[in-house]
Amino acid sequence: MSAEKMTKLEENFQRAEALKKTVNRWRNFHAHCMWQMTLNQRRDPYAALRMKDTMEQELALSNKQLLVVRQAALHELFEKEYQQYQQELNQMGKAFYQERF
C-alpha cells in the first residue's frame, strides 16, 4: 500500500470514529431526555391533563378565529359580487331598489 492510501484510510477511520462518538452522544442525550420526560410525568401527574386542557382551549380559540376570518372573506366576496351585479344592471339601464332613510 502506498503512503497516500494509508493516510486516506487513516483519515476515513478517524472520521468514522468521530461519527460513532457523535451518534453515541446523540443516543445518550435522547435517552436522557426521554427519561427526564417520564420522570416529570411521574412527578406531576396532572401536568399532562393541564397541557391537554390548554391545547383544547387553544384549539377552540383558533377555530373561533378561523371562523371570523372565513366570515370576513365571505362578506368581502358578497360585497364584490353585489358591486359586479350593480355594474351589470347599470349597463343594462336597470338598478337595485334601495330604501332611503
| pLDDT digit string, tens, across residues 23-71 | 888 888 888 888 887 776 666 777 777 888 888 999 999 999 999 999 9
Dmax (CA) of the chain? 101
- Rounded CA-CA distance 17/89 in Å is 79
CB 46 within 8 A of CB 39: no
Which pTM was predicted?
0.45
* Per-residue pLDDT tens digits for 68-93: 999 999 999 999 999 999 899 888 88
- Rounded CA-CA distance 87/80 in Å is 11
Task: Label residue 55 left, alpha or beta by phi (over 0 means left) and psi (-120 to 50 means alpha).
Answer: alpha
